[in-house]
Amino acid sequence: MANIMDRAHGTTPAADDLCLDPYDMLAHVAAKAPRALAWSRAGIADPRRWQDAARVKLAELSGYGRFGGPPQVLRREDRGTVAGLRHESLYIRVRHAHDIPVRVIRPGTAAAPPRAAVICLQGEGIGMCASWGEADSAKEAEAVQSGFDFAREAAARGLVAVCIELMGAGERRPHDGGQPGAPLRSLAVHGMLLGHSLLGQHASDVSTALNWVLGRDFGIAAGAGRIAVIGHNLGGAAGLLAAALDTRIAAVAMVDPPRRFRDAIRQRAITAEMTMPGLLRWMDLDDVLLLCAPRPVVMGPAKPGPAADAGELIAGGRPFYELFEAGSALAQAEGLAPLWGRLSALLTDPGAETGPKRP
């Protein structure tokens, strides 16, 4: 009877030799994605020329845009000393209807003025307040407990921390008619209609903040080779994308970095906020990493232990880095303490790693 009903409705009973799961289809397509501008496939022999071409395409796919010149600064306020650290708040106006909350945290006392800065980015939907150890939600409290109070750690090491409120978190959570705003993933999907990936928007905001950090108003001499970015998960991916497209960033630290997108599709782990539409037609996350060469990138888990995703990215990227004689600039850290140790050493002594070389 069941077979008769199936035929009557034009369907065929499922069988072991049929592939009906759409995720299986997507994973198969992703595994065979052309990635036409990947370093291994583009057919461009010179690594610098490949980087130039890949950056243009990546900026287009991500919706990244850098707005030149020092941005307008609004509501700049000295908040005094909090738990032994100096706090300053401000808003950076990118353009109409686009303002970025920023908190700058400096060491309370120092023998010499800091000369290096770290841009701090939190993970999915977590406000920048977690970077200085405060929490307005359970997720932010968990982030602080996990050691993602990046600004406090940076200042303790004599560095200036620049905390950026990423779109969709903290003060930038969306609201609609007084009701709690749409989830971050819904926000990401809306942006895609305009060709803006959320990752690309985050990276654009980092570059805009960097315009201010490198200007006279910032207040410290943070020049070339003295500015890094650190982020957790989504914030780490945003920091990597920003560094890939903005060569003024001297180093990147990624805590719990994401896996390559083609692998994440197979594991059903892709989310809208991590998506750049059409990316796999041209490249993948491991190629984004190569755009940072020869600048240092250190990555690893928040807690000591194995980090397969970080290890795969580093192993795959090292041959390209070696073309710049900078193989050691890619490093894996087993936990936050060694990650911070390496990052602070890079900023306080930029010559500690192999500097940029032409292959």
Q: What pLDDT, in 10s, does the model give residues 277-322?
A: 999 999 999 999 999 999 999 999 998 876 678 889 999 999 999 9
Q: What does the pLDDT read at residue 11?
A: 55
pLDDT > 50? residue 208? yes
Alpha carbon distance 34, 41 (integer Å): 9
**CA nearest neighbour of 270 among 258, 288, 283:** 258
Which of the given ranges, 20-24, 118-122, 209-213, 354-358, has the highest pLDDT on average? 118-122
Output the 3-class SS for 114-134. Answer: CCCEEEEECCCCCCHHHHHCC
Alpha carbon distance 93, 103 (integer Å): 14
Question: Is the Cβ–Cβ distance between 62 and 200 less than 8 Å?
Answer: yes
- Cis-peptide into 294, omega within 30 deg: yes
What domains, with CATH codes, occur in the chain?
38-352 (3.40.50.1820)
Residue 243: CB partners within 8 Å, gap ≥ 6?
229, 249, 251, 252, 291, 292, 295, 297
Q: Are strands 175-176 and 179-180 parallel, antiparallel or unpaired?
A: antiparallel
Average pLDDT, the chain: 88
The pLDDT tens digits of the residues spanning 139-188 come to 999 999 999 999 999 999 999 999 999 999 999 998 764 444 457 888 89
**Higher model confidence: residue 300 or residue 355?**
300
Alpha carbon distance 307, 298 (integer Å): 12
Q: What does the pLDDT read at residue 348?
A: 82
Q: What does the pLDDT read at residue 78?
A: 96
Beta-carbon count within 10 A of 117 CB: 25
pTM of the model: 0.91
pLDDT > 80? residue 206? yes
Alpha carbon distance 211, 127 (integer Å): 22
Alpha carbon distance 307, 127 (integer Å): 25
